[in-house]
């Protein structure tokens, strides 16, 4: 296993995740939510993590941030390095100094992720007071500047508002302001637009990308929406059942998907044909048949095999290695040649 080329890019990485494993110990056995995931994020790039619900995307993000409480019976292994600092072995106090400062996170639910009894200005200022030790007034002024930066109109007055006085889109802007207040090297965004109206989604994504440019923050964007991947990211990782199954530059991934699961995801995007009908080659939306496997049992072989139309006998017996098949393009599939040759 150790000899496998697990990641596509190593040079110039700001965040390096190696063989991350997060298991939850339950009465019925261990649930392998994240089961050996590795990736690198380059300085200032946007990396997408894609997959269905329950594939371990969010747990990976929370594990990197060390935000999963220990008393829920979780066990963690692997290595997470932020600019060379190993995060997994830091004390809780040291980790606190990094969270919200050098690496920060925004969450899916803007409606519930802000504290309802504190003003949004106070919630932004809090990060600045903790990490930059700004006095109260300076922190508040900086919080107002942050609100202006995420394009909230009349920021000085809005800073004194409580979250319930803001719309969903504005709350997510506030979350972004909190996350970027200390100018972190890495921003992890866990489905940041999923809970928002479609019209607001694009605004929020564009805002994140623009601020990324301005602050040269690397973004790890977790999403199940391949449309978002295509519009925002340079590279993407496809996760399935707690494992990374494919990694490639985005253009390459869409042009030449090598894992049958990735193909399934791409084929299930509605597209417009020349005739203007919402359709794909076969005239109706294609779904991936079957369901995500239970993570309670150790999966022997390829986790996708039971749902895969390319599967051969070997797939359910031996776990396929993540091998490079093109520059910066890794895929974990025994039948890559057949998949690549098949007509989509």
Partner 1 sequence: MTAYIVRRLLATIPVMVVVALFVFLLLHLTPGDPAAVIAGDDASPADIEAIRRKLGLDLAIWQQFVIYVGNLLRGDLGTSIFSNLPVLTLVKQRLEPSLVLAVSTLVLAIALAIPMGVLAAWKARSWIDRVVMGFSVLGFAVPVFLIGYLLIYVFAIELRWLPVQGYRPLAQGIEQTARSILLPAIALSMVYMALIARMTRASMLEVLSEDYIRTAHSKGVATIVVLLRHALKNAAVPIVTVIGIGLTLLISGVVITETVFNIPGLGRLTVDAILKRDYPIIQGLIILFAGAKVLVNLMIDISYVFFDPRIRY
Helix (H) or strand (E) holding 189: strand 186-190
The residue within the footprint of partner 1, chosen from 162, 225, 254, 340 (CB under 8 A), is 162
State which residue, 99 or 329, has the beta carbon closest to partner 1.
99
The set of residues, in sequence order, having a beta carbon less than 8 Å from that of 87 and lying 6+ positions away, is: 64, 66, 80, 81, 95, 98
Helix (H) or strand (E) holding 326: strand 323-326
What is the distance between the alpha carbons of residues 56 and 132, in angstroms, rounded to a whole number? 33
The residue within the footprint of partner 1, chosen from 32, 57, 74, 99 (CB under 8 A), is 99
Q: 177 to 206, contacts with partner 1 by CB under 8 A?
A: 178
State which residue, 157 or 338, has the beta carbon closest to partner 1.
157
Residue 120 C-beta: closest distance to partner 1, Å = 11
The residue within the footprint of partner 1, chosen from 105, 228, 239, 311 (CB under 8 A), is 105
Residue 294 C-beta: closest distance to partner 1, Å = 25
Q: Vertex 244, ends 258 and 322: CA angle to 5°?
A: 60
Contact 30, 76 (CB under 8 A): no
Contact between 112 and partner 1 per CB under 8 A: yes
The residue within the footprint of partner 1, chosen from 10, 12, 89, 115 (CB under 8 A), is 115
The set of residues, in sequence order, having a beta carbon less than 8 Å from that of 90 and lying 6+ positions away, is: 98
Name the one range near partner 1 by CB under 8 A: 112-120, 139-147, 206-214, 241-249: 112-120
What is the distance between the alpha carbons of residues 259 and 147, in angstroms, rounded to a whole number? 42
Name the one range near partner 1 by CB under 8 A: 75-83, 106-114, 222-230, 294-302: 106-114
What is the distance between the alpha carbons of residues 136 and 133, in angstroms, rounded to a whole number? 9
Residue 190 C-beta: closest distance to partner 1, Å = 10
Site string for partner 1, 259-298 (x = CB under 8 A): ----------------------------------------
Contact 133, 76 (CB under 8 A): no
Q: 78 to 97, contacts with partner 1 by CB under 8 A?
A: 96-97
Secondary structure E strands in 11-146: 13-26, 29-42, 46-50, 74-82, 85-86, 103-106
Residue 16 C-beta: closest distance to partner 1, Å = 20
State which residue, 118 or 251, has the beta carbon closest to partner 1.
118
Contact between 114 and partner 1 per CB under 8 A: yes
Contact between 116 and partner 1 per CB under 8 A: yes
Contact between 98 and partner 1 per CB under 8 A: yes
Site size for partner 1 (CB under 8 A) = 28
Contact 18, 78 (CB under 8 A): yes
Contact between 142 and partner 1 per CB under 8 A: no
By the 10 Å C-beta count (0-12 exposed, 13-18 middle, 19+ buried), 28 is classed as: exposed
Rounded to 5 degrees, φ, ψ at 173 are -60, -40
- Site residues (vs partner 1, CB under 8 A): 65, 67, 71, 96-101, 104-105, 107, 109, 112-118, 126-127, 130-131, 162, 164, 175, 178
């Amino acid at each position: 296993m150790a000899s496998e080329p697990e990641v596509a890019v190593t040079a110039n990485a700001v965040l390096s995740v190696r063989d991350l494993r997060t298991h939850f110990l339950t009465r019925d056995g261990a649930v392998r939510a994240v089961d050996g995931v590795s990736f690198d994020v380059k300085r200032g790039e946007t990396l997408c993590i894609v997959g269905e619900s329950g594939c371990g995307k969010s747990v990976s993000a929370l594990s990197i941030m060390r935000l999963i409480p220990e008393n829920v019976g979780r066990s963690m292994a692997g290595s997470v390095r932020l600019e060379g600092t190993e995060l997994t072995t830091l004390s809780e106090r040291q980790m606190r100094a990094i969270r919200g400062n050098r690496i920060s996170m925004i969450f899916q639910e803007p409606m519930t992720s802000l504290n309802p009894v504190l003003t949004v200005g106070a919630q932004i200022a809090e990060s600045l007071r903790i990490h930059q030790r700004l006095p109260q007034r300076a922190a508040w002024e900086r919080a107002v500047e942050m609100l202006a930066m995420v394009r909230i109109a009349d920021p000085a007055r809005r800073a004194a508002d409580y979250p319930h006085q803001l719309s969903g889109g504005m709350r997510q802007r506030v979350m972004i302001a909190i996350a970027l207040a200390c100018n972190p090297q890495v921003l992890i965004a866990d489905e940041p637009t999923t809970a928002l109206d479609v019209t607001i989604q694009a605004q929020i994504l564009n805002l994140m990308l623009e601020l990324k440019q301005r602050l040269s923050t690397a973004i790890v964007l977790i999403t199940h929406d391949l449309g978002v991947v295509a519009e925002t990211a340079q590279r993407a990782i496809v996760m399935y059942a707690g494992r990374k199954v494919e990694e490639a530059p985005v253009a390459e991934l869409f042009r030449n998907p090598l894992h049958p699961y990735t193909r399934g995801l791409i084929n299930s995007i509605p597209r417009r044909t020349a005739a203007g009908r919402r359709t794909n080659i076969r005239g109706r939306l294609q779904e991936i048949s079957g369901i995500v496997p239970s993570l309670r049992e150790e999966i022997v072989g390829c986790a996708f095999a039971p749902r895969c139309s390319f599967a051969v006998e070997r797939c359910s017996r031996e776990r396929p290695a993540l091998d490079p098949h093109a520059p910066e393009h890794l895929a974990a599939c025994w039948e890559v040649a057949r998949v690549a040759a098949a007509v989509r």
